[in-house]
Amino acid sequence: MTAEELLRRTVAKFVENELIPVAGEIDEKAEFPWEMFRKLAALGAYGIRYSKEYGGAGANTTMFCIMCEELARGSMAVAAFTAMQCLMGTDFIYRYATEENKKKFLIPAIKGEKVVAFALTEPEAGTDLFGGVRTTAKKVKDGFIINGMKTWITNAPYADCFTVLCQTDKSKGARGLNFFLVGRDTPGLSVSPAFHKMGTKGTEISELAFDDCHIPHENMLGAEGRGLGNLAAILAEIRTMTAALSLGLARAAYDAALQYAKERTQFGRPIGKFQAIQMKIGSLATELEASRLILYNTTRMLDQGKNCIKEASMAKLFVSEVACRAADEATRIYGSYSYSMEYPVQRFFRDTRFLLFGGGTSEILQTIIAREEGL
């Protein structure tokens, strides 16, 4: 058995035995599931991408995506906070923080002792980060003073630290954007109550307000002027990982639909014997196979260090749309029972919507792909 097969088998077993049985309860409570967070830490999930030196496993992107796919099959909320802990919330700290800050935030995040968050979005800056970011970090003698606001920040209600995108100098355009590490206990930082939202219930989201937050110089993450460039360097991995989350959810919806098509009887036979239902299953099975190919082709490219901004955008665009179709078709196959909170298909349907926005909307990804094609 290869290392990839072993990992998939191990995570799948965890998902079947530990996650699927509680996924509905996590969704219903809509609170961060600390017990599950700690169980995943005990499995070593949060350090999967990082070097052994910091307590990680040193696995490649393919392995990371296998883990994300399997977790999303069990619970999108749990997969979403795990992805945040493994990638967006820790990557800048891993690459650019001082050893002291790594000891303070990265190592505890990998151990599951601290929670991390990644703050890009603002009320005026959604898709348009470059033109819309208004949060400023003003250089002063002994560091930076941050003022502004961030919104839709996953994990914010209970995070211990934030990687925050700020404008340092408007006149420098793209080179005037930089990332900063801000601890939760920094005076002037306030966190709003959690949003009341439609899906991924279990990861909580809120707003951040920065009012003269003073941070030391060494909390700038990356060389000055490289903020957007450094973000671009991990965007392909973020998009590919979101495609992996999408594939996991698509599989969960498909498996539920297939099973129901075999069990539900109308007109004296299982509904799966009707051509209308078979056409849905046939199309979805094909789209799932195509999703696997496009996703893992992209992870292999990332693992080989190839530039794959186009392929990663295609993977995220294609597989997230497949997940939406799979959840939609599953609700049709379930009929009225999909409308009942007793069955998980309603959760799959609600959770797919998040996949359309995180990592870039479908519309902007289509634009990026078209640009890569020469338009």
Q: Both ends of the chain: CA-CA distance in Å?
A: 45
Joined together, the tokens standing for residue 279 give: 């056409």
Residue 144 token pair: 């930076």
Q: Is 363 in the site for ligand FAD (CB under 6 A)?
A: yes
User: In the complex with ligand FAD, which residue's Cβ is closer, 10 or 127?
Assistant: 127
CB of 358 to ligand FAD, least distance (A): 5
- x-or-dash string of contact with ligand FAD, 199-238, rule CB under 6 A: -x----x---------------------------------
- Minimal distance in Å, beta carbon 124 to ligand FAD? 9
Stretch that binds ligand FAD, among 47-55, 69-77, 106-114, 148-156 (CB under 6 A): 148-156
d(CA 146, CA 136): 6
Taking the complex as a whole, the smallest distance from the CB of residue 293 to ligand FAD amounts, in Å, to 26
Q: Verify binding: residue 326, ligand FAD, rule CB under 6 A.
A: no
How far apart CA 308 and CA 371 sit, in angstroms, is 14
Residue number with CB closer to ligand FAD (104 or 239): 239
Assess 153 for contact with ligand FAD (CB under 6 A): yes
Least Å distance, CB 203 to ligand FAD, is 7
- Closer by beta carbon to ligand FAD, 12 or else 364: 364
Structure tokens belonging to residue 208 = 């951040």
Nearest CB to ligand FAD, comparing residues 289 and 363: 363
Number of residues lying near ligand FAD (CB under 6 A):
18
Residue 44, sorted as left (phi over 0), alpha (psi -120 to 50) or beta, turns out to be left
Rounded Cα distance between 30 and 202, Å, is 4
By beta-carbon proximity to ligand FAD, the closer residue of 174 and 364 is 364
Q: Is 235 helix (H, G, I), strand (E, B) or coil?
A: helix
Task: Judge whether 243 and 313 are in contact, CB under 8 Å.
Answer: no
CA torsion sign for 18, 23, 28, 31 is positive
- 364 lines the binding site for ligand FAD (CB under 6 A): yes
306: which 2 tokens?
């190839």
Please check whether residue 240 is in contact with residue 83, taking contact to mean a CB–CB distance below 8 angstroms: no
Which residue, 137 or 153, is less far from ligand FAD as judged by CB? 153
Stretch that binds ligand FAD, among 50-58, 244-252, 280-288, 357-365 (CB under 6 A): 357-365
Contacts 24+ apart (CB under 8 A), 97-101: 97/181, 97/219, 97/221, 98/218, 100/218, 101/181, 101/218, 101/219
Residues numbered 90 to 129 that lie near ligand FAD (CB under 6 A) are: 118-121, 126-127
Q: Which residues contact ligand FAD by CB under 6 A?
A: 118-121, 126-127, 152-154, 200, 205, 354, 357-358, 361, 363-364, 367
